[in-house]
Structure formats: structure tokens, C-alpha cells
Amino acid sequence: MAWFTFPADNLLCRCLGISITVWFTLLFVFIIMPAVLGVSFGIRSFYMRTLLKIFEWATLRMELGAKEKNQELYKPYTNGIIAKEPPSSLQQEIQELRGSANSLRSEPEFEMADIFYFCRRGVESIVDDEVTKRFSAQELKSWNLLTRSNYNFRHISLRLTVLWGLGILIRYGVLLPLRVTLAVTGICLLLVLTTLVAFLPNAELRSYLSEKVHLMCYRICVRALTAIITYHNRENKPKNGGICVANHTTPIDVIILANDGCYSLVGQVHGGLMGMVQRAMVKSSSHIWFERSEVKDRHLVAKRLGDHVADKTKQPILVFPEGTCINNTSVMMFKKGSFEIGCTVYPVAIKYDPRFGDAFWNSSKFGMVSYLLRMMSSWAIVCSVWYLPPMNREEGEDAVQFANRVKAAIAAQGGLVDLIWDGGLKRAKVKDVFKEEQQKLYSKVLVGDSEDQMEDKRSEDGTPEGDESSKDPAEGQ
């Protein structure tokens, strides 16, 4: 009976071979070739419009199902859940707590009522924390058929359950294998072609081909995420000899920006696959990679960045001054290092549409591989990129003020909240400087008036403020 199974096995192998051939042919014709040529057939735009219609239908079904079952659809969604009065000084608020009795006393002193001020501010900071919530996924008002948004929506009606199950089959059975294939193709081409280009002796030809290779590979990787990107104000695109700074939501910010133009990247040397990619990229173009010990040397970093921007033939440097990923709702403190170089800064604002997938990378919760799998199993990555007019450091403006001015411009354009807090709070505790500042403010409430009177008396007597002979010898004990 063995001769009966041989034709069946042969037929199965032929069918499998034909399927693989058709798969890679469609992949090459409809995705890889458009990426090489920089054109689009409009398939992704049609896909996005179709998804929006499905989401609208699902929202209507949720509302009807919730009414029938008397369920609450959405969580409360507000930027601040505590109604606060206009901010006033610490002295004024404590004076109000103490009441008018304090005004009858000649000497300021501690009162038990002062404790209530710090208790109230502490509870407000815990409940209405504007920092910690920037490091968690952005909350959605509606459902995008992804279980990672809200686990209750799929149980509202049978139709939604069927649609949700169908979505799982499409995302994990069709989209995920396709995207993984494209990602592997893009990374392999980047490794091979950049290595080959590095052997060319002509510097101009090597630079030209390197730019084309990077663009092609980045475009393939963009299609691996089904990224639909809208670029605004392209006349303000970063130019050679400058630094491009942008808000940071995800590691794929690099791919989103590099899809529209080449940049010199700055980062720490890694091992493994990431290290292979870094070594291949630096062979054909001028990227800046630092060893772990070099990153802490600010002078070395500033020198290498300065030398790079001084060469007008090199591509603009791409920097994310926040130093960590923020959840697409705000912009946090920019580190001043990139703004001390003394060159033109090109601000860029990036805003993702959370309806199609959450692009935020919570590095404290997900590793890089699991994060990329979540991205590739989402519906799509939809975002808008705004190129802002170039900015230069003004006369009398220090690096911190310049960084804050650039940050405010990015936040305003991207519709993001401008925060003064350091993104390092994602993993570190609040610095003691902030605690000491509050302690100094309270100390002024206790002894501020007497110090002011002493300074006035010194100025009347003509005694210098720093003259130690005028002080009580027992004061330093």
C-alpha cells in the first residue's frame, strides 16, 4: 500500500511549494517593491478606513448592549479628578489654616494646624498623580476589538464576541506572520546591504547608496507594522549640520522618522541582534554609538556630537531628549545636553492614534521582543508627524531655557501636556532637592519675617550681610 501514499505526499509537497511561492511573490510585488520605489498602492489607507467603520459599528453595538444589560461602558476619564482652586503660595495657604489668631502673636512658631496642609497636598499628589499615569497605557473611551484595552466589552453581545474572535484569527493568523516575515526581510537586507556598501572605495557613492539602502529597509519595516504615517510641513525637515529632537513614545519612533529621511542615530552599544545591526549600520554611515562607560562622560558626548554637526556633509542627528518613553499624552523634561552644542535644533512632534493600537512601550513591564509582538499583533500603527520650524538658542538663554522652549513648541503642536517632571521618575525616586525646596519654603513661614527684619536692620546700620563679626557667637552652635 506504500505506492498509494507516495503520490499523496508528492501532491502535498507540491501544494506547499506553490503556496510558499505565491506568498513570497505577493509579498515582493505588493510590499517590498513599493517600499524600494517609495510608492504606495493605497492598500493601507483602505485598510484603515475599513477598520474605522468596523469600530463605529462595534461602538453602536456596545451602547445598545450596555443599555439592555444596564452596564456602564466607560471608566471615568478626566485629566484631573480633584477640583483645585487657583494656586497660591505656601505661606498664604498655611495662614488661612491658622486663622486670624496667628496675627495676634509677635513671634512666628509651629502650629499643629500646619500638618493639615501637608496631609492635604500629599493625598492630592497620590490621588491626582500627573507623573505616574504618564507611564501606563493611554486609556481609551471606546473599544478597538483588542482585549488589551478592556476585557469586558467582548461579553456585551454575541455579535461582538464573534467579531472579536474573528479579529483574533485575522491578527494572529494572517497579519502577524506577514509582519514577522517583512520585519525579518527588512533587518536581513539592512545587515547584508550595509555591509556590502561599506566595501565601496568611493565615499560619495558609498554615502548615496547607504542612504538609499537605509530608506528602503526602514520602509519595509514600516510596512511590517502596517504603519500609516501623515507628515506635515515637510519644508521644515531637518538638514545636515543640525540636531533633530522629538518626543519619545516608542522605540519605533526611529523607524517612523527615518521612513521620511535619513538620520545619524545616537545610542549606547548593545550586544546580540541589536549589536549586529549597530555594527552593520555604522560601517556605511556616520552613527554615534557610545560604550556604557562613555555615556556618563558628558564632555566626551558633547564633543562627539559637536564634531558631527560641524561637518555639514553628515546627516542630522536624531535625539530623544526625554531619555525614556512617555505614553503619548504628554512631554516630560528635556535633558539639556543636546541643547548645549550650539547648533540649529529641528523640533519634531509625533502623535499616535491609540484607536488602532497602543504604541507606548512600558519598558518596566514588557521586554523588547514581547513589545514588538504586541505591536505586530495590533491592527495598525497610525500616527502624525509635524516638522516644526528650526530653532536656535537666543542671546542670554541658557541650555535649560532653550530646551524648555523647544519642549513647549512640541507639546503645543502635538496636543500633548507639557510637564516639568523628569522622565527618570519612571524608575527612580524624587530627588532630595525637591524635598529640600519644600522644607525651605516652610522654614520661611516660621522664621522668614524675623530674617527679613534682621536684613533690613543690617542694611540700615551699613553692616555687610556676609560679615561674620556681626553675628551672635552662639548662633553657629
CB atoms within 10 A of CB 398: 11
Give percent of the chain above pLDDT 70: 67
Q: Mean of the pLDDT values across residues 398-402?
A: 90
Indicate the pLDDT class of residue 361, thresholds 50, 70 and 90. Answer: confident
Distance CA 319, CA 47 (A): 32
| More confident: 219 or 93 | 219
Positive or negative torsion for Cα 435, 437, 438, 442: positive
Closest CA to 224 of 269, 255, 270: 255
Residues, the chain, total?
A: 477
pLDDT for the residue numbered 465: 42
- To the nearest whole number, what is the mean pLDDT of the chain? 76
Q: Mean of the pLDDT values across residues 446-473?
A: 46
Distance CA 195, CA 69 (A): 62
Q: Mean of the pLDDT values across residues 196-212?
A: 86
pLDDT for the residue numbered 57: 82
pLDDT for the residue numbered 370: 86
Phi, psi of 224 (to 5 degrees): -70, -20
C-alpha cell read off for 225: 507594522
pLDDT digits (tens, 9 = 90+) for 150-191: 445 656 677 778 888 888 899 998 889 889 988 888 888 888
Is the model's pLDDT at 56 over the cut of 70? yes
| More confident: 141 or 322 | 322
Beta strand 317-319 with 417-418 is unpaired
Distance CA 370, CA 211 (A): 30
| More confident: 284 or 35 | 284
The pTM for the full model equals 0.75
Lowest mean pLDDT, pick from 125-139, 190-204, 374-388: 125-139
Distance CA 410, CA 416 (A): 8
337 to each of 243, 295, 321, 429, 434, how far by Cα in Å? 12, 12, 8, 22, 21
pLDDT for the residue numbered 124: 66
Is the model's pLDDT at 138 over the cut of 90? no
pLDDT for the residue numbered 335: 87
Lowest mean pLDDT, pick from 71-75, 353-357, 461-465: 461-465
- DSSP-derived letter for residue 475 is G
36 to each of 39, 149, 204, 271, 303, how far by Cα in Å? 8, 35, 21, 29, 36
